[in-house]
Structure 1
């Protein structure tokens, strides 16, 4: 990790640690596909865990819809990915609201298994001073926007995000050309819809220039 990245993470972590809303602090990490959300979330969560407060680390992998829902508009559909990929209502009802001001603190940490396509909820209990770090695309859609205490938006150029996504798929054994075509036509095209409809850069409370993950810049 570069010094600049560590200093930025330290600054963000200090800002978050200073907050005590009286319920678990719900932090969402937003950005287009391939912007680096998962790595950033892992590093931020590890840094926050060095403090006295318990940290809950979740990501979108456990909150997909079943295949029949995810692909009902077609496997290549950008609108289908935007509207149907994630179980946003369940995320709100079973995770974010229980961790919110009037919540029970019993929350879903996992709803769906991607490999088996089974809905298999797992629940856990959170302490009042816990910090949730959750990363996913589309987290500032209308269904979820009011249920985050802080949203970090990683702003990366589309072409950079595309290449990162392709490189990640190739590392898992995918064909580079097929991956690039799918990212462009489905995943990043869905992100284009999200940017147009929700303006997540403006709405995020923390904005980071993540064009070069080794040299991130805190913009807001």
Structure 2
């Protein structure tokens, strides 16, 4: 698959690859493996994790909306990320100003990030194929993993919080699967 992506990418241009999948589907592990492969091939690359760009807790918890909606719709400033990151990736901009979330302090800090004008830029995260972001990618890989298997990848303590999974995560994931149909829209689907 990586050879196919590299064949489709122009060595003199930027190729934006999305690694999409539901929580605990193996996205971060896949990105680490891809990064090692790219390093071995000497391919210029950059990696962005969408969860590095979430908003403060007050904007995504206890907002008066249903928990699944908070997770799906309020976790990120979707409009800002579209305008200041995803569209700039597509337009070939060389630098972007991004919000970076600090989970320990529950704060967001702005940082200027230089982008490569060639090679592969990988964006990893959940819900990447939503309408606001989908058109920024040159290709999307979706990792397909059953809910049961994904739950087993959580810590034992986290696995006990089934109500949170039911109300927040699983409903949002079902909404995404039903409305966006990411497995149909992805360029590549890999079972994990």
TM-score past 0.5 threshold: yes
Q: 5+ unaligned residues in a row in structure 2: which ranges?
A: none
Task: Name 1:149's counterpart in structure 2.
Answer: 138
Residue 46 to residue 121, structure 1, CA distance change in 2 (3 Å)? farther
8 Å Cα contact 1:27-1:151 kept in structure 2: yes
Determine the structure 1 residue equivalent to 2:120. Answer: 131
Figure out how many residues of one structure are paired with residues of the other and give that number: 191
Residue 163 of structure 1: how far off its partner (Å): 2.2
**1:84 paired to 2:74:** yes
Contact 1:24 1:126 in 2 (8 A): no
Runs of 4 or more above 6 Å deviation: none
Correspondence for 1:97 among 71, 82, 87: 87
Task: Please give the secondary structure, in 2, of the residue aligned with 1:133.
Answer: strand
How many Å apart are 1:42 and its aligned residue? 1.5
Aligned-residue CA RMSD in angstroms? Answer: 2.1
Aligned-partner SS, 1:143:
helix
Cα offset, 1:137, TM superposition: 0.7
Render the CA deviation track for 1:98-119: whole Å, top value 9, x for unaligned: 222x332103465322222222
Gaps of 5+ in 1: 1-11, 211-220
Structure 1 length-normalised TM: 0.78
The secondary structure found in structure 1 opposite 2:140 is strand
Question: Taking structure 1 as reference, are residues 96 and 59 closer, same or farther at Cα in structure 2, changes over 3 Å only?
Answer: same
Distance 1:175 1:188, change over 3 A: closer
Give the aligned partner of residue 116 of structure 1.
Answer: 105
Aligned to 1:214: none
- The alpha-carbon distance between structure 1 residues 40 and 109, as it changes in their structure 2 partners (threshold 3 A), is farther
RCO (CA 8 Å, sep 6+): is it higher in 1 or 2?
2
Do residues 189 (structure 1) and 178 (structure 2) align? no
